[in-house]
Copies of this chain bind each other. A is one copy, B any other.
Amino acid sequence: QAPAPAAAAKPKRQSYEQRAEVAKNAVSKQLLNLMAKKKTNLAIAADVASTKQLLALADQVGPHICVFKTHVDILDTWNAEVQGELQSLAEKHDFLIFEDRKFADIGSTVVAQYSGGLYRIADWAHITNAHLVPGPGIIQGLKQVGLEKGRGLLLLAEMSSKGHLATGSYTQAVAAAAEEHQDFVAGFISQTPSSWQPQSSPGLIHMTPGVQLAKGGDNLGQQYNTPQSVIGGAGSDVIIVGRGIYGASDPRETAQQYQEAGWSAYLASVSA
């Protein structure tokens, strides 16, 4: 007797390794392979003002993360030596550096901002990000600087803060622009990619900020999600955790907890 037909199964997600094979951006490919090898989809948002603390944090949590996310423009110190130390830690622990600059200007301006100034972001950040609000010229401008350096760009498709305007046709325009520029666009900052129609290409990575093990918010409009809701429910790929880790009494141990929570959620979603 034939078995009864199963209920319509939730489609199985492709593994990070499978997606690395089809990724068109160098950083996207590298990151998907790194995540699979290191068994982590955890990014830390290192929102600290002390450069000393930043470097100590990178060394502590380095073994547990795939991405170290910086706001270089809030640090008390930045120079070639600090840059070199951060790059050495990235080598030592095998993680990528993501400068969360949120570029948001016209093409000719972002060329200068990405390559120049005191921070010279393109020289050390494997990944940066941008808002599409100025139009596709911003991708072209950043690509002009970053492509030859092997960099990758994330586009802000959806945000986590209250009353944000990255919704509906805005998000659709971002998704379409990413598809068109997959040589340089590595993926998205997003919230619920599983609900996108059409689904984004498998070589594009989704990262979701505002993640904590417990749900909640702050008084400036930020709202939090959990690793399970982000990876399992919303279909994202990378959880970005800030205060939940750097504010913990033991950041290393806490990072390990988030690594395990994020990885379990991933394994469940690819075997669903």
Contact = CB atoms under 8 A, between A and B. Distances in A.
Interface of A: 47, 49, 71-76, 78, 100, 102, 104-109, 111-113, 116-119, 131-138, 140-141, 156, 159-166, 170, 173, 218, 220-222
Contact of A113 (B74, B78, B117): B74
Contact of A108 (B138, B141, B218): B218
A133 B157 CA distance: 10
Contact of A116 (B76, B137, B162, B165): B76
Given A49-B112, A165-B170, A75 B221 contact: no
A161 to B, nearest CB: 5
B119 A104 contact: no
B132 A165 contact: yes
Given A113-B73, A156-B133, A220 B108 contact: yes
Given A78-B118, A102-B105, 9 more contacts: A72-B117, A73-B73, A106-B161, A106-B221, A134-B159, A135-B159, A135-B161, A135-B162, A138-B161
A163 B18 CA distance: 34
A211 to B, nearest CB: 14
17 contacts: A71-B113, A74-B116, A78-B118, A102-B105, A104-B131, A106-B220, A106-B222, A107-B218, A107-B222, A108-B218, A108-B222, A132-B165, A133-B164, A135-B163, A135-B221, A137-B162, A165-B170
A237 to B, nearest CB: 21
Contacts of A113: 71, 73-74
A119 B162 contact: no
A221 B136 contact: yes
Nearest to A78: B118
A137 B161 contact: yes
Contacts of A165: 132-133, 135, 170, 173
